[in-house]
Each structure stands twice: as structure tokens, then as C-alpha cells.
Amino acid sequence: MLNTETLALDAVTLAASLTGDVVAPGDKEYDLARRAWNLAVDQRPALVAFPADAADVRAVVDFARVRGLRVAPQGTGHNASPLPRLDDVILLSTQRMRGVEIDVERRIARVAAGTLWLEVTSVASEHGLAPLSGSSPDVGVIGYTLGGGLSWLGRKYGLAANSVTAIELVTADGRFVRATADHEADLFWALRGGGGNLGVVCAMEFRLYEEPAVYAGMLLWPAEAAREVLAAWVEWTRTVPDEVTTSARILHVPPLPELPEVVRGRSIVVIDGAVAGGVADPAAVLAPLRRLAPEVDTFAHVPPVALSRIHMDPEQPMPYMGHGELLGELDAAAIDAIVDVSGPESGLFMAELRHLGGAVGRVPEGAGAAGRLHGQYLSFAGGMVASPEMAEAVEAGLDRLGAALAPWANGAHYLNFTEKRVDPATFYAPADYARLQEIRATVDPRGLFVANHAV
Ligand SMILES: Cc1cc2nc3c(=O)[nH]c(=O)nc-3n(C[C@H](O)[C@H](O)[C@H](O)COP(=O)(O)OP(=O)(O)OC[C@H]3O[C@@H](n4cnc5c(N)ncnc54)[C@H](O)[C@@H]3O)c2cc1C
């Protein structure tokens, strides 16, 4: 029986074998310990463990297995909303396992399980190197990369998962494994796209790219220009080289004092992203968009760390609900459909399109389970849900947008941008999903690990 008293005893027993800590439902720290970055997620695990190192991770996994509990690894809780109930689950928070080492000569980074992207980009950038990090500085490196990893350098270098060179993890049977292309190759393949289904990742190593000065920033217009700007952007994306990765968004920014004045309380349309190195005249690439006379234009040559903040992603936990779909080619009717349901009354804080294709659309040699993203564009929309009424409004807004985009949706999803529970088969090519399920059944036959998206 899992009552509060039993769990308190379990917490004491487990804590005795850890350097880190364990928190149980009766503890005063429980509410803070169980909190996800997405504050709309009310996760209530049997226990929360904060391992300090890989030995602690192994102790948690061994304890769970013997005690008949399961383990949900979590870095930040940015994508916690699809998780099932956690009544018999130890939430294993990696937030105390931090650290970045950069091998400048080999252009390889090694990070500990709980490392956030800004911790990597800030150090790598000093050497003119860039990881394939995403738009948010405080998303966890491991969760992001296990799900694929779509960066502002993505169309040039592909998904982050395919730049991983080694993953160290604890598997369901308590083994500590270093998986590479030459050792535990099936597991290495499955991890790179298979999310948190296969073990608890304790450390990861991945390639960095020489990008000392990227041409990056944002262009901003009032929302009234949304139709014209989005249509021009779609046309433009058809012409740009693989070095260019951008997004286009309609935003209804809340009037929060901490936000910059240029966006605070406004409805706007924004194009942002990067032109990576190798393009002779990046300003010429942007010229067609600049002809639309943006009110703000921050594009300039910047060190790669600047990519961490061009999208103005929130850096504090917040309550929200979001959803993404993979889309094929878009036309004028698609833009109309998006603009029609993304106004200030939509309940949505933002409706975004990211340009895919390029290297993100090709399966590279030696790829993992998330070989590529299937589609030309990725939509992602969301809204703040600080109350049940807001949640209802955002859900309705997401449904309206989903229905409006249905003619262009190809039925596939991108794991990282999927915050509702969907059929996980839609993340992968059919043969890859079958292989992934087989590998999962071999390494975790009893389903010890609870991932946000179960394979
Ligand atoms: C504001 C914002 C901006 C974003 N921008 C981008 C972007 O530009 N590109 C992009 O691709 N994605 C982006 N994402 C999506 C993001 O990549 C996913 O939410 C990702 O899952 C976050 O990883 P996390 O570890 O921070 O979150 P968590 O919710 O902690 O982790 C998600 C899942 O990853 C697995 N996991 C995490 N750590 C481990 C571990 N140590 N071992 C095993 N499994 C683990 C677990 O299954 C967990 O449920 C963004 C999300 C937000 C909210």
C-alpha cells in the first residue's frame, strides 16, 4: 500500500543510500520538489529523488525495481504535461547533476544530466563554438536532445540528437552503460529520439560547430501586418539556403512590467532566427523581409550564445498549455487559416511556424531514432493557463487552430513540441517505431521508466 506513512519510510530508506535527497508527500518540501517548469502540470509522484551523481541514480533505479515502483526522469519539467499519473512513480529530478566540459580541439561538449542549454552555449561561445541548442536558454539539454532537438542551426546541421557521440545512462536492470556508435549500438540508436523510455541519462557528449559569428535576430511588425508578413515569409522560406533557419509568429504579449516596452502588452508578428556561417552576404538573404519595413530589426552578426535569447522565450516557470503539428507545404489559404484563428480573442499567447527542411529533413548517416522531421513547417501554439477558465479558452483556441491547419497537417508530430498525449507512432518512420519498441522491450521489459511520451 502506498500511503503517506509507507512512503515516508521508503524515503528514509532510499535517502540512506544517496548523497542527494529524497522528498515524500508528507514533507513540507514536497510541493516545491514536485513542481514542473510548466506550472499548469500538477504532478504528484510517490517520491521525488534528487540524485547527486550517477551512483545515486543507480540507487534510485535499484530501489524502485525492488520496491515495485517506477521511475520518471525529469530535467526541468518543460514537457511534463503528457506524463501519466505518478502515484507509484519516483520522480527522478536531475536538477542537481550539473556541469559542462568543452574539449575545444575535438569540438565536443560533455554535460551532466541536469545541465540547461545556456550553461553550454555561454561556455562554447567563448571559443566560437555552437551546440545545436534550441530557442530557450533554460530547457534541459538531455530532455531536448533525447526528443530530437530543433535549433536555429538545424537546417544546416540537422537535429541535435544526430550530433550526439556518447550517452551514459543507468538502465532498468541497474547497469551503468556508456552507449556509442560502437558499443551498445542499438541502445545508442534508440536513445537519440526515443526520449526518456530507455533509462536515466547521467551524461551526454555531442559535437559543437564552428560558428563564431552568426547573423541572427528578429524582425517585428504590428499584428495588423500578420497576413502580409506570414505570406511573404512562407514565399521567402522556399528560396533560402540550408544555412537559414527561422520562425514566424503571431504574439499577444501580456502587459508584464518585466517585458521590454517594444513588445509589452502588444499584438505583434515576429520573424526570428539565424543565418549560419557560409553565406557570403547574409543581409542580402534578409532583404525581401526587410522590404516589408519592420518596426524593429535586430539582425546582426552575434556570437553563438546570442541564439539562446533571440526568441524571447520565458525563463521563469509558468503555467501554459501548448501543442504542435508537422505541416507540409503552405499556401495563401494556410496563412489565412492561421491568421483567422490567432487573434487576441483566440486565447492563444502565440501561434508559431518554424521552417523545417534542409538538414532537419534528411536522415544523416549514423542517425538515431529521430532521424529527421517529416514536413516543411512545424506549428506550435500555446497560451497561459493561470485559471480553469483560461485553460478552457486555450484548449478551445488550440482546437480551433488544429482544425484550421488540418488540411496542411501531415499527421506526424515532433516529440519535443508535443505537449498533449498523442500516438507516439506519429513521431517516427514506421520501421523506426517498430525497432524502437523492440529495443525498449529488451532493455526495459517491465516498463520501469515512465517517459512523458511512452514508446
Ligand atoms: C519555452 C520553450 C521553448 C522550446 N524551444 C525548443 C526548441 O527551440 N527546439 C526544440 O527542439 N524544443 C524546444 N522546446 C521543447 C523542449 O525541447 C522539450 O520540452 C523538452 O522535452 C524539454 O526537456 P527538459 O529536460 O527541459 O524537460 P523535461 O520535461 O524535464 O523532460 C522531458 C522528458 O525528457 C526525458 N528526460 C529528461 N531528462 C532525462 C534524463 N536525464 N534521462 C532520461 N530521460 C530524460 C523524460 O522522458 C522527460 O519526461 C521548447 C519548450 C519550451 C517550453
Output the CA 416–ligand 1 centroid distance in Å: 6
| Cell representation of residue 40 | 499548469
Long-range CB contacts (within 8 A, 24+) of 357-360:
357/155, 357/237, 357/242, 358/154, 358/155, 358/156, 358/242, 358/245, 359/154, 359/155, 359/156, 359/157, 359/158, 359/242, 360/150, 360/154, 360/155, 360/158, 360/159, 360/245
Secondary structure (3-state) at 442: helix
Given this model, what pLDDT does residue 1 score? 59
Secondary structure (3-state) at 157: helix
Mean model confidence pLDDT for the chain: 97
What span, in angstroms and rounded, lies between the C-alpha atoms of 278 and 414? 28
The phi, psi pair for 87, rounded to 5°, reads -55, -35
Query: In what helix (H) or strand (E) does residue 437 lie, and over which residues does it extend?
Result: helix 430-443
The percent of the chain in helix, strand and coil, each rounded to the nearest 5, is 35, 25, 40
Output the CA 44–ligand 1 centroid distance in Å: 19
Secondary structure (3-state) at 289: helix
Pocket of ligand 1, candidates 96, 120, 136, 139: which has the most ligand atoms within 8 Å of its Cβ, to mutate?
Answer: 139
The phi, psi pair for 382, rounded to 5°, reads -170, 170
Determine the length of the chain: 455
Give the residue whose CA is nearest to atom 31 of ligand 1: 143
The response to whether residue 76 sits with its C-beta less than 6 Å from ligand 1 reads yes
Tens of pLDDT along 395-422? Answer: 999 999 999 999 999 999 999 999 999 9
Give the residue whose CA is nearest to atom 34 of ligand 1: 143
- Whether the pLDDT of residue 10 is over 90: the answer is yes
- Strands (DSSP E) contained in 39-133 are 47-50, 70-74, 89-93, 100-103, 108-112, 129-130
What span, in angstroms and rounded, lies between the C-alpha atoms of 199 and 164? 16
What span, in angstroms and rounded, lies between the C-alpha atoms of 248 and 379? 10
- Whether the pLDDT of residue 354 is over 80: the answer is yes
Q: Where are the alpha helices (DSSP H) in 224-281?
A: 226-237
Query: In what helix (H) or strand (E) does residue 54 lie, and over which residues does it extend?
Result: helix 54-67
Q: How confident is the model at residue 190 (pLDDT cuts 50, 70, 90)?
A: very high
Tens of pLDDT along 417-448? Answer: 999 999 999 999 999 999 999 999 999 999 99
Tens of pLDDT along 110-150? Answer: 999 999 999 999 999 999 999 999 999 999 999 999 999 99
The response to whether residue 416 sits with its C-beta less than 6 Å from ligand 1 reads yes
Given this model, what pLDDT does residue 349 score? 95
Pocket of ligand 1, candidates 56, 70, 71, 74: which has the most ligand atoms within 8 Å of its Cβ, to mutate?
Answer: 74
The response to whether residue 139 sits with its C-beta less than 6 Å from ligand 1 reads yes
